[in-house]
Amino acid sequence: MRVLMTGPSSFTGMYVVEALVAAGHQVVVTSTQSLSSYTGVSRKRIERVAGLVERLHQGVCFGDDRFIDLIAQESFDVYCHHGAWTENYRSMDYDIQGAFANNTRSVKRVCDLLAKNGCGKLLVSGSIFAEVAHPFSPYGLVKKMTQQTLDFYGVASGLQVSNVVIPNPFGELDNPKLPRYLLTEWAKAGVPTIQTPDYIRDNIPVDLLALGIADWVKRCPSTVGRSVYRPSGYVSTMAEFVRRLQRECRERTGWACDVSFSKQTDFAQPMRLVNDVPLMPLFPSWDEQAFWDRLVGG
């Protein structure tokens, strides 16, 4: 199939592009900046993507004039709405209005043009943190509003709209998050402290997640309507997940990998946030040991 996708420089986006190409799809991507404008880990990701895809359209934002021209002139079987406004996304000062406007610019026209030119499937990447009845962060709220808006206009235009719920991906070339923090501390013989060990979360290796999404691009319904895909990885308390990281790191480095667990007092988030489609049984050829080798070695 021919797939159009936004957000290829994001952590999960790069891996999804790689999995789509490996599955034999023709992939066209758009990036909001020119290739030369990216720096740091985003630059590494976009350079990997650029060497794989059929075409990389630079300086194109969802719903702007260049994006409209692209979908008006070319035909795609699937559109993956993966890009999102992430500036300051962890803050309560996250720009809700600006983010929503960027995520949904010209949404009705986009959906109409996609359907007119033969696109049957619209996959919308969403966060598990937006699945709760009452989002607890501005970013989660915007993700929920974005998904609902694309769902409404996509179905009205005659598309299959599938919400891909992303849990907690981790792996090589990730943004600074818990696994990188732990590995950095352990490398210098530090003893990091875990403040929320009791939360039950769904931490998923990013390349396994990408395999699942690439497979879902093919398998999700092609009829007009709605569907949801909830891929799952390691479901456990955060304390158990940290102990898994300890074991994998100790085996590969010989470091002490000591850690301290605080008594959890912060319960601002739901205790349990997990998906319901375990991917490991579905992809027995996925190399778990190689994943950990790359993560710890990177």
Task: Give the fold, CATH level 3, of 2-170+204-232.
Answer: Rossmann fold (3.40.50)
Q: CB of 193 within 8 A of CB of 260?
A: yes
Token readout for 161 is 């709209």
Q: How confident is the model at residue 136 (pLDDT cuts 50, 70, 90)?
A: confident
Q: What gap in Å lies between CA 61 and CA 68, rounded to an integer?
A: 10
Q: State the average pLDDT over residues 224-239.
A: 98
> Which of 151, 131, 100, 159 has the alpha carbon at shortest distance from 276?
131
Query: CATH 3.40.50.720 occupies which residues in the chain?
Result: 2-170+204-232
pLDDT in tens, 147-194: 999 999 999 999 999 999 999 999 999 988 999 999 999 999 999 999
pLDDT in tens, 57-83: 999 999 999 999 999 999 999 999 998
How far from 136 is each of 143, 147, 159, 204, 268, CA to CA, in Å?
Answer: 12, 16, 30, 22, 8
> Which of 232, 228, 1 has the alpha carbon at shortest distance from 124?
228
Task: Give the fold, CATH level 3, of 178-202+234-275+288-297.
Answer: UDP-galactose 4-epimerase; domain 1 (3.90.25)
pLDDT score for 90: 74
3-class DSSP assignment, residue 235:
strand
Parallel/antiparallel/unpaired status of strands 234-237 and 200-205: antiparallel
Query: CATH 3.90.25 occupies which residues in the chain?
Result: 178-202+234-275+288-297
Q: Is 131 a residue whose pLDDT tops 90?
A: no
